[in-house]
Structure 1
Amino acid sequence: MKIRAFTVISATVVSLSLAASSVEAFPIPGSYAPLFEASAVVPQQGNPAGKLVEKFNISNLIGKSRVLLLTYPKNCTFICPTELIALKKRIGDFHDLGYEVLVLSTDEASLSKDKDASHQAWRMKSDKPAAGNKNTPIGIGDADFIMVSDADHKIIRSYGVEGEDGLALRATFFIDKQGKVQISEVQMNSIGRDVDELYRKAAALKFVEENEGMLAPQGWQPGDAGMEHSHESVRKQVKKQN
């Protein structure tokens, strides 16, 4: 019995080790964002489904714009549409900050591969609460962000955000123009992200990049002056908070 138990435990350890080896480390601030090429849906005027790009490459954005990359579990579910619909409404604000916004899940990109829950299919469903049957998925409508498909899970593994169920965790990466991750966050899938807070962080990153030596302290909001590297500035900031 002891031998059999040891065999089972050893096999389990080997299995877990192999699973772990297929997932890369979570990119921390200061590290380069893993590059990838994948099928994606990009916005196209007059085409709610968006344009299918078979070989979208994130490296084409590096050096041209900042990148906000959001991973999420699955199309046509529950928290995900609340995030993406809110993001769609503020997408112009992110563009004004110089960000290209990418959202990524393991769903197929093409309508021809999945007519119900692919990126194109989801875009073609109305985002109006009154549209459709109350027991059917709400859509996200025509959105001005890029939707990346990671059907083979390679990207979420390279970013270290594949969950135990094989789906993407709810993770957020702010990537600068040099391709370095400046903010990386991951949370449990039952808690949604706040788009206003995402915007605040996007603006704060732009602020500290463009104002050398300045800091964005607790509570910093777009338009604030920021804080200097000095104890005097800390005291002023704490006084303002009281």
Structure 2
Amino acid sequence: MSLINTQVKPFKATAFHNGEFVDLTEADLKGKWSVFFFYPADFTFVCPTELGDLADHYEEFQKLGVEIYGVSTDKHFTHKAWHDTSETIGKIKYPMIGDPTLAISRNFEVLIEEDGLAERGTFVIDPEGTIQIVELNAGNIGRDANELLRKIKAAQYVAAHPGEVCPAKWKEGESTLSPSLDLVGKI
């Protein structure tokens, strides 16, 4: 079963954020757009390139009213250690959630049970706590913050414009479609 259009399940976690440990629950997601960005582990190879890319674009996400949450099965203490020792990870201003109990990774169905690690999963959640976008990548394939920004803009557009849809490669300001009987077979 797909997680699209389902509510984020309850969770409690501790994150490393702006030099502090903060407690988070699903209630913290309400009222704003959120991205849960799961990755396998701290102190690895592809993960810092992805997390650094998000850090480089963080202001753009914030302008859209989007909070990013990096999530791995590491503890929040490990996130702090990585943040303090890596130039790339040191740029991060968004919360880094520790999921050592594996509960959040299970909730989002990205847990690799035999390894105790999360898949590369990206989840865009609307202000009501409903999952609007799900993307899974193999462990050796990194993600792109620019493509995620494009998808979020599309999700926000269709949320604000019921009855319209965004075609492939849609970018902000481009034409959308209004599905109707008149369009059948004409695209």
Give the TM-score, by structure 1 length: 0.72
Residue 43 of structure 2 is matched in structure 1 by 76
The separation in 2 between residues aligned to 1:223 and 1:173, in whole angstroms, is 24
Q: Verify the 8 A CA contact 1:227 1:234 in the aligned structure 2.
A: no
1:212 to 143, 162, 173: 162
Deviation at 1:235, TM superposition (A): 7.3
What is the CA distance between 1:224 and its match in structure 2? Answer: 1.6
Identity of counterpart residues, as a percentage?
35
- Cα pair 1:172 1:186 within 8 Å, conserved: yes
Q: Which residue of 2 aligns with 1:201?
A: 151
1-side partners of 2:47 and 2:26: how far apart? 22
Letter in 1 for 2:26: I
SS in 2 for 1:160: coil
Partner SS state of residue 104, structure 2:
helix
Q: Per-residue deviation at 1:187?
A: 2.1
Kindly report which structure 2 residues correspond to 1:166-185, keeping only aligned pairs within 5 A, or say none: 166-185=116-135
* Contact 1:124/1:142 (<8 A) preserved: no
Aligned AA for 1:57? Answer: T
Aligned ranges for residues 15-34 of structure 1 at < 5 Å?
A: 28-34=3-9
Unaligned runs of 5+ in 1: 1-25, 44-49, 111-117, 128-138
Q: Which of 32, 40, 45 is 1:65 aligned to?
A: 32
Cα-to-partner distance string for 1:117-138 (whole Å, 9 max, x where unaligned): x1111112343xxxxxxxxxxx
Q: Secondary structure at the match of 1:193?
A: coil
Name which one, 1 or 2, has greater alpha-carbon Rg: 1
Q: How does 1:150-165 map to 2 (within 5 A)?
A: 150-163=99-112, 164-165=114-115
The answer as to whether partners of 1:27 and 1:33 remain within 8 angstroms in 2 is: no
Report if aligned partners of 1:27, 1:159 keep a CA contact under 8 Å in 2.
no
Q: Look up the match of 2:83.
A: 123
Residue 33 (structure 1) shift: 1.3
1:176/1:182 contact within 8 Å kept: yes
What is the deviation of 1:27? 5.2
Question: CA-to-partner distance for each residue in 1:21-70, whole Å, 9 max, x for gaps?
Answer: xxxxx752111111211111122xxxxxx2112x22231221x2011111
Q: Which residue of 2 aligns with 1:228?
A: 178
Distance in 2 between the 1:88 and 1:70 partners? 12
Instruction: Please state if 1:56 is matched with 2:13.
Output: no
Q: RMSD in angstroms over aligned alpha carbons?
A: 1.8
Q: What does 1:27-46 correspond to in 2, within 5 Å? A: 28-43=3-18
Instruction: Answer whether contact 2:123 2:131 (CA < 8 A) is retained.
Output: yes
Structure 1 runs of 4+ aligned residues shifted over 6 Å read none
Encode CA deviations 1:164-197: one digit per residue, 9 max, x unaligned. 3110111011111111111112221111111111
- In structure 2, list runs of 5 or more residues that go unmatched: none
Q: What amino acid is aligned across from residue 68 of structure 1 in structure 2?
A: V
Alignment of 1:147 onto 2:96: yes
Q: Alignment length, in residue pairs?
A: 186
